[in-house]
C-alpha cells in the first residue's frame, strides 16, 4: 500500500471511531509513520482526506448499484422457481459481503453516522445508503419476483417494508455498534436467516 492509501486507511479508521474533528493530523501521521509535513504532499489539507474518502465510497457504492441493476434486469427465471433462489442469495451474499460486511463500507457507514448531524453532504449520503437505496433494491428484487407470480403484487410493499425494517434494525444493532467482530457478523447472519426462514419458509 502506498503512502496516500495508507493515510486514507488510517484516517478512516480514526475518523470512524472518534469523528473527523477529534482526529488530528498528528494522530494520523503518527500511525502511518510519516511527519506531518509529508501528509501535505499527498493531500491539500485535512478536509481533502475526508473528501477523498467520500469520493472513494461513492464510486464503491455506484459499482454495487450497477451490479445489482444487472442482476434485477436479467430475464426472469422460469415460473415456479423457488422465490428465495434469486432474492435471498442476492440480499445475503452480495449486499452483505460487499457492503455491510466490507470493512471499508462499514467504517464509512460509521463515519456517516457520526458526522451526519453537522455535515449535510454526509447526512444525505447516510440516508441514501442506509434507508433509501436498500429499500429500493429490495423493492426492485421483489417486483421482479412478483412477475414470476410468487407474490401477489399488492402484498409486496408490506413484505419489503417488513424485511427492510428488520434488516435495518439488525444492521444498527450488530454492524454499526461496537467493533465489527466475527461474532457480531455471525449473530447478524443468524438473525437474518431465522427471520427469512420463519417469514418465507415456515
Instruction: Give the footprint of DNA on this chain (CB under 7 A).
Output: 2-3, 23-27, 34-42, 44-47
Binding mask 70-89 for its own copies (x = CB under 8 A): --------------------
Nearest-approach distance from CB 19 to DNA, in angstroms: 11
> Would you say 12 and 108 are in contact if contact means Cβ atoms under 8 Å apart?
yes
In angstroms and rounded to an integer, the radius of gyration of the C-alpha atoms of the chain is: 20
Is 26 among the residues that bind its own copies (CB under 8 A)? no
Alpha helix positions (H), 19-132: 25-32, 36-42, 46-72, 84-89, 103-115, 120-127
Binding mask 102-131 for its own copies (x = CB under 8 A): --------x--xx-xxx----x--xx--xx
Closest Cα partner for 133 from 196, 61, 52? Answer: 61
Considering beta carbons, is residue 77 or 135 the nearer one to its own copies? 135
Nearest-approach distance from CB 106 to DNA, in angstroms: 23
Report the alpha-carbon distance of residue 137 to residue 141 in Å, rounded.
Answer: 6
Report the alpha-carbon distance of residue 95 to residue 40 in Å, rounded.
Answer: 36
Nearest-approach distance from CB 165 to its own copies, in angstroms: 4
Binding mask 160-179 for its own copies (x = CB under 8 A): -xx-xxx-xxx-xx---xx-
Amino acid at each position: 500500500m502506498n503512502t496516500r492509501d495508507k493515510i486514507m486507511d488510517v484516517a478512516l479508521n480514526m475518523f470512524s471511531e472518534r469523528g473527523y474533528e477529534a482526529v488530528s493530523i498528528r494522530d494520523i501521521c503518527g500511525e502511518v509513520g510519516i511527519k506531518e509535513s509529508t501528509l501535505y504532499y499527498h493531500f491539500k489539507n485535512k478536509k481533502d482526506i475526508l473528501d477523498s474518502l467520500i469520493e472513494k465510497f461513492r464510486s464503491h457504492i455506484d459499482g454495487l448499484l450497477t451490479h445489482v441493476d444487472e442482476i434485477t434486469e436479467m430475464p426472469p427465471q422460469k415460473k415456479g422457481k423457488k422465490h428465495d433462489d434469486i432474492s435471498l442469495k442476492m440480499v445475503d451474499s452480495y449486499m452483505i459481503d460487499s457492503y455491510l460486511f466490507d470493512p471499508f463500507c462499514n467504517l464509512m457507514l460509521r463515519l456517516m453516522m457520526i458526522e451526519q448531524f453537522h455535515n449535510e453532504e454526509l447526512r444525505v449520503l447516510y440516508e441514501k445508503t442506509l434507508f433509501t437505496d436498500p429499500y429500493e433494491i429490495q423493492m426492485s428484487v421483489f417486483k421482479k419476483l412478483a412477475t414470476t407470480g410468487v407474490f401477489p403484487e399488492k402484498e409486496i410493499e408490506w413484505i419489503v417494508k417488513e424485511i427492510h425494517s428488520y434488516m435495518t434494525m439488525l444492521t444498527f444493532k450488530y454492524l454499526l455498534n461496537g467493533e465489527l467482530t466475527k461474532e457480531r457478523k455471525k449473530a447478524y447472519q443468524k438473525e437474518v436467516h431465522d427471520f427469512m426462514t420463519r417469514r418465507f419458509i415456515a
